[in-house]
Structure formats: structure tokens, C-alpha cells
Amino acid sequence: MAKELCSGVTALLSINTWQGQQQHHHWARSQLSPLAISATHRHAKHSRFRVVCQSVETQAKTEIYDPEFGAKVGQDRLLKVPVSNIRNFCIIAHIDHGKSTLADKLLQMTGTVQKREMKEQFLDNMDLERERGITIKLQASRMRYMFENEPYCLNLIDTPGHVDFSYEVSRSLAACEGALLVVDASQGVEAQTLANVYLALENNLEIIPVLNKIDLPGAEPDRVIREIEEVIGLDCSKAIPCSAKEGIGITEILNAIVERIPPPRDAAMSPLRALIFDSYYDPYRGVIVYFRVIDGRIKKGDRIYFMASNKDYFADEVGVLSPNQLQVNELYAGEVGYLSASIRSVADARVGDTITHYDRKAESSLPGYEEATPMVFCGLFPVDADQFPELRDALEKLQLNDAALKFEPETSSAMGFGFRCGFLGLLHMEIVQA
């Protein structure tokens, strides 16, 4: 159905946009692609954008939710491939060694996003991340890549680089079969990279060493290769020299992902087990859960059950990230996607939890679920004691989007009633403050 609507047919578009809480609706009849593009431009400033396309000829209907680029996203990326042609991988790199630049180049080279859409680095798309230039929240993107005349589906799962988020890193590694180890060829291996490489090795990931920034005059790829071999003990005979900035070595990296990273296990007939590697709160749709299907399959309308939080919901929407959200009917073992189910709090769908079916529960959950343990604490007191309930409401709202934030009431003889708040680390505290 979606395909029919993408081949330039005349379509009726129902466009909903939101400005703050206010919804605006427009109808338009046009060739699908050009109109969708101009609509995207017109409404680019709106925070949320939804187009429902109905083919005038066939009455077929599809809904494309895409806050950034509307219907421009190519539907051929939704093409299903056999599990043997899926590759799930992440990028391990020290801060500033070029992970985001490389991720963007991979998205560009596979046609997932166009060059002109790349004004801002794509995978780091939270404002705060941009401001601080670091990756905080995990995100994912599906790419379509042709290798020896066969279509492959490559899922890149982004990992945060900061030590406060090592648990999130470990969950995203558990969702992959392979990792690109990106090392700045003018710098060398850093301690933080080591910790993540060991995590990847523990998860049996196939690691592809990539030497980035070879365009720099100070690059010493041979020295860095020796360093990786000595420090990590990784065979670097097939390390790939690259410049993410200049686009050198990108095809070699894509080919290596297909050739060297194993496909996921084909377990589509088993009871559903999907690993949550990220979630965020959307004020319109509730919590959006990012997951990797490990066993079984999941489709829209399924009654799902979160094994750690003991909560059940109906999946309103299931889709893939490319990198924007695109709805699909079903996702099966090996695939990576998102779902929404009118979930009110991220605590119900925590990173590391296992999703299964309410009526056909998996026997055991996937390993590795951990409660977030706060490491840094601070006392928070209202200036005016009457504002205590407001402060509590504000903290509860914040917690809807950040299940790692903990707080409990506290009294102090000097400050009165307040809260003791726990954070994962100093950076986490700064982010919550912002």
C-alpha cells in the first residue's frame, strides 16, 4: 500500500501540524512527492508534523509521521529483506574521534538522508547534545545498502560516549552483532574506548577497527594500529583507514559491515522477546520505545507486556527509524524499531527491559536488566515553602522522561521541606538542571 503512494500518484493529503498545543489541519490534492516536500518546508517551524496520504485512484491510505522531513523519506527503505541480509551494528569511539561525522556519512552514502538535509549532524539531534557536542541519548537508523546486487538492511544503533551512560551503552551493544571501533589516527586509543571495547567483546560482537582522520597531516595510522593490537589484542590486519570528513573509506566500511558482521539469529517463530535500548517521552503519544526484536515478531495492535515493570499495553504504532519514524505493520526477529502504546511514564518501559506478548509470554526475560543506581545526590528545596507541591509535580514530570532520575522527600531544619535527588553522575545532574 505504501509503495503505491510513493510512485508519484495523485494523492489527497491530510496535513496536521501542531503549534504548541494547537492543531491545524489542511487538505491538499497533488502529486505526492512535490507537495509533501513543499508542505514540509512550509511547516518546518512547527514542532510536530503529520501527513496522511490517500491515493485518489486507489483509495489506499498511508500515514507518514516525520517531524523533520515529511514524506520525502523514501519508502523503499521499508522493503523487507531476509534475516540473513540484516546487519545490526554500533560505533564505539572516544569523544571527538569522529563517531557522529562517520554516522552521518554512512547515512548519506546509503541515501538515507540527503546531503542538504545534513546541516546538523543527524544522530545527535537533541538540542542540548548539539550545544554540548556530545551524544547523550541513543538513537538508531536503518539504512538500505546494495551489495553484490542484493539489498541489505543495516541498522546503526548509536551509543552515548560519556561514562555516566555506560549502562545505556551496554544495552545498545546487546542489540548488535557487530561494532565499528573508530580511533582517531592522529591520537590513538583512549581509556574510555577500552571500557566499551571490552563490553563489546563480552557481548561477542564482531569488531571492525576503523582509523579515522587520515586526512590530517599528523595522522599516524601504523602507530595507532600497533597500539590497538598491543593494548586491546585485536587483529588489525583488516583495519580500514578512513576520513569521515572527506568521505574516504566509507564504501569499504559499508562492505565490511555486510561481509564481516554476522546476521541476526533467525528466531521469528519463537515467543516475542524484544530488548529496549532507549525510550523517551512524547507529550502527544506517550513514551516512544526503541527496541531490537531478538525473538518472535511484533505488530501494531498486539497486547504487549513489559517483563521487568510488569505492565501491559496495546501497541498503537510500530515502526522503523530511518532515521525518522516510519510506520510498518510488523517487525520480526533481527529488526530494530520503535513502538508507541500510550505509555504514561518511561519507568514502565525502562532501558534493558524485555517486551513480550501478554498472551504468549516468553519463558524468561533477556539478560542484563539493571535498575539505575544514582551516584550523585543533591538537595532541592523551594524558595517559598508553599511551592513544595509544585516542585514535586515538576520532578514527577521530569521523571516521566528520565527514569534514571530518583527523588525522595527530605526535611532540613534550615531549608524546610524539599527533595533529595539522585543522578547517575555529574553530567546527568547538569543535563537535568538544564
Ligand X SMILES: Nc1nc2c(ncn2[C@@H]2O[C@H](COP(=O)(O)OP(=O)(O)OP(=O)(O)O)[C@@H](O)[C@H]2O)c(=O)[nH]1
Cβ-based nearer residue to ligand X, 126 or 216: 216
Q: Is 221 in the site for ligand X (CB under 6 A)?
A: no
Give CA–CA dist 210/65, Å, rounded: 35
Whole-angstrom Cα distance, residue 53 to residue 72? 12
Binding residues for ligand X restricted to 229-258, rule: CB under 6 A: 243-245
Q: Is residue 161 within the footprint of ligand X (CB under 6 A)? A: yes
Among 75, 110, 135, 327, binds ligand X (CB under 6 A): 135
Q: Is 356 annotated as a binding residue?
A: no
In this structure, what C-alpha cell is assigned to residue 294?
531478538
Site for ligand X in 75-94 (CB under 6 A): 93
Angle of CA points 165, 171, 173, to nearest 5°: 100
Q: Is 33 annotated as a binding residue?
A: no
Cα–Cα nearest to 348, from 422, 276, 424: 276
Per CB under 6 A, 212 contacts ligand X: yes
Nearest to 76 by CA among 146, 158, 157, 177: 146
* Residue placing its CB nearer to ligand X in the complex, 98 or 323: 98
Q: Counting contacts by CB under 6 A, is residue 95 touching ligand X? A: yes
| Distance of closest approach, residue 430 Cβ to ligand X, in angstroms | 15
- Decide if residue 96 touches ligand X (CB under 6 A): yes
Report whether 89 contacts 174 (CB < 8 A): no
**Residue closer to ligand X, measured from CB, 152 or 165:** 165
Q: Any known ligand binding at 10?
A: no
Our finding on whether 187 is near ligand X (CB under 6 A) is no
User: Could you tell me if 392 and 419 are in contact, meaning their C-beta atoms sit under 8 angstroms apart?
Assistant: yes
Residue 98 assigned as binding residue? yes
Q: Which of residues 110-129 bind ligand X (CB under 6 A)?
A: 124
Q: How far is Cα of residue 109 from the mean position of the Cα atoms in its chain?
A: 19
CB closer to ligand X, 256 vs 333: 256
| Grid cell at residue 47 | 514542532
Could you tell me the smallest distance in angstroms from the CB atom of residue 160 to ligand X?
A: 8
Phi and psi at residue 40, to the nearest 5°? -60, -45
C-alpha cell at 186: 592522529
40 with 70: CB under 8 angstroms? yes
Alpha-carbon span 324 to 67, nearest angstrom: 7
Closest CA to 253 of 398, 104, 367: 104
- At its nearest, how many Å lie between ligand X and the CB of residue 96? 4
Q: How far is the CB of 360 from ligand X (least distance, A)?
A: 40
Smaller CB separation from ligand X, 8 or 133: 133
Residues 36, 37, 41: CA angle, nearest 5 degrees: 115
Using the contact rule CB under 6 A, the part of the chain among 77-85, 207-215, 276-284, 297-305 near ligand X is: 207-215
Q: Binding residue per annotation — 213?
A: yes
Diameter of the chain measured on Cα atoms: 73
Is 63 a binder of ligand X (CB under 6 A)?
Answer: no
Q: Which is nearer to ligand X, 213 or 300 (CB)?
A: 213
Closest CA to 241 of 260, 259, 205, 215: 215
Annotated binding site: 93-100, 158-162, 212-215
Annotated binding site for GTP: 93-100, 158-162, 212-215
Residue numbers at the binding site for ligand X (CB under 6 A): 93, 95-101, 124, 133-135, 161, 212-213, 215-216, 243-245
